[in-house]
């Protein structure tokens, strides 16, 4: 077991996603089976007593990797010396709320948290934004965190990737572990583009492109895409609650691969700052296929983009440009 302890912040720590996520961190699923952690658990003052119950459960789980736990409603205390910040807490969209209202409410939250990252956290803190609208919340935190490298800000689209992989596996009648390199482009919203074209399936006959294994282009360019785009809403309709355990699993996957690296030949989807790759607008937080090594990600280059894909990438890019414009107006007010 490592003597080094890393400080891991989880915001919205009394919420249902965090309730699954915290124990993934405690078990070593995120940072490795030998990595000790100090948990910084932040929520609003009303939820601190609930967090005391979570601490009891962590203690009762007897996790050897947990070195210490801080529970707090104080932003400065929560963000101090943090190496990894997982920003789950956000203002949820309420019935009748316009998207601009949601962006404004979250701009205020993530401006404060961005400043806190810059002023109190480790100078190379790595940030994953989960709270929606995740791409633009990550962008707000990034522009508010002077001095923190912009490439250290990411948002979660791994849940969408996992959903896409699962749909492909179900359609092909294979185990999900045999489905590789499905991509999510763009925004974590209903405009995202789940892209099967560069992916493959390990069949008994060998490595097979998804489009060859599933000879149903109508499904691949229709129901497959719309099912993944609308999956979050479908879960809410069925459970009357949003995705929690699957979101926690995706957060764990995202951080694990970013910190510990992706397998050779494998790429994963992460919302990262755009450098203009694939015709996207520079400076957005945009989901790309990436490879990870030594704690850094690299956007996969040179993938073929057909006209069908180009149009869908433009649609999600345009939505993110609009969100960015609205959010930056709120920040300047």
3-state secondary structure (DSSP) of residue 295: coil
Instruction: Clarify whether 188 is annotated catalytic.
Output: yes
> Is 93 marked as binding a ligand?
yes
Q: How far apart are CA 17 and CA 39, in angstroms?
A: 16
**Token code pair at residue 313:** 């990438």
Which one from 40, 83, 180, 188 is the annotated catalytic residue? 188
Q: What are phi and psi of 171, to 5 degrees?
A: -65, -40
> Is 106 marked as binding a ligand?
yes
Beta strands in the chain (DSSP E): 5-11, 36-42, 66-72, 84-87, 126-129, 153-155, 179-180, 183-185, 193-195, 200-203, 206-209, 268-273, 285-293, 296-299
Give burial (CB, 10 Å; 0-12/13-18/19+) of 238: exposed
**Token code pair at residue 266:** 């494998």
> Is 43 marked as binding a ligand?
yes
> Is 239 marked as binding a ligand?
no
Taking CA atoms, 267 is separated from 93, 146, 307, in Å, by 32, 30, 22
Chain length of the chain: 333
- Among residues 1, 75, 15, 3, the alpha carbon closest in space to that of 251 is found at 15
> Is 131 marked as binding a ligand?
yes
Q: How far apart are CA 85 and CA 127, in angstroms?
A: 5
Antiparallel, parallel or unpaired: β 84-87 and 126-129: parallel
Task: Check: CB of residue 22 under 8 Å from CB of residue 39.
Answer: yes
Taking CA atoms, 146 is separated from 19, 87, 121, 320, 329, in Å, by 31, 18, 12, 22, 18
Q: Which residue matches tokens 């999510």?
A: 184
Show binding-site residues.
43, 93, 99, 106, 130-132, 163
Task: Mark the binding-site residues for substrate, compressed into ranges.
Answer: 93, 99, 132, 163
| Annotation: binding site for NAD(+) | 43, 106, 130-132
Catalytic positions are 188
């Amino acid at each position: 077991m490592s003597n080094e302890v890393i400080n891991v912040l989880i915001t919205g720590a009394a919420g249902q996603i965090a309730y699954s996520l915290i124990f993934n961190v405690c078990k070593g699923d995120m940072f490795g089976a030998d990595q000790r952690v100090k948990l910084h658990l932040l929520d609003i003052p009303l939820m601190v007593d609930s967090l005391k119950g979570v601490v009891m459960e962590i203690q009762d789980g007897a996790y050897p990797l947990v070195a210490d736990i801080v529970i707090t409603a104080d932003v400065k205390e929560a963000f101090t010396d943090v190496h990894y910040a997982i920003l789950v807490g956000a203002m949820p969209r309420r019935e009748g709320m316009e998207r601009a209202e949601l962006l404004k409410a979250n701009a205020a939250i993530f401006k404060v948290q961005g400043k806190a990252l810059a002023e109190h956290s480790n100078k190379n803190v790595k940030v994953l934004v989960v709270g929606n609208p995740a791409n633009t919340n990550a962008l707000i935190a990034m522009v508010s965190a002077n001095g923190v490298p912009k490439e250290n800000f990411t948002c979660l689209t791994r849940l969408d990737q996992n959903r896409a992989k699962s749909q492909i596996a179900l359609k092909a009648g294979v185990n999900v572990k045999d489905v590789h390199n499905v991509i999510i482009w763009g925004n974590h919203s209903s405009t995202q583009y789940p892209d099967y074209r560069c992916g493959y399936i390990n069949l008994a006959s060998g490595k097979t492109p998804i489009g060859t294994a599933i000879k149903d282009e109508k499904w691949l360019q229709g129901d497959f895409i719309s099912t993944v785009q609308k999956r979050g809403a479908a879960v809410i309709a069925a459970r009357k609650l949003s995705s929690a355990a699957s979101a926690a699993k995706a957060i764990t996957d995202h951080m694990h691969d970013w910190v510990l690296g992706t397998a050779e030949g494998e790429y994963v989807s992460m919302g990262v700052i755009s450098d203009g790759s694939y015709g996207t607008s520079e400076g957005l937080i945009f989901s790309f296929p990436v490879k990870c090594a030594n704690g850094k990600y690299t956007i996969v280059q040179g993938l073929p983009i057909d006209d069908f894909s180009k149009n869908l990438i433009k649609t999600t890019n345009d939505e993110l440009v609009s969100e960015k414009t609205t959010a930056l107006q709120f920040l300047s007010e």
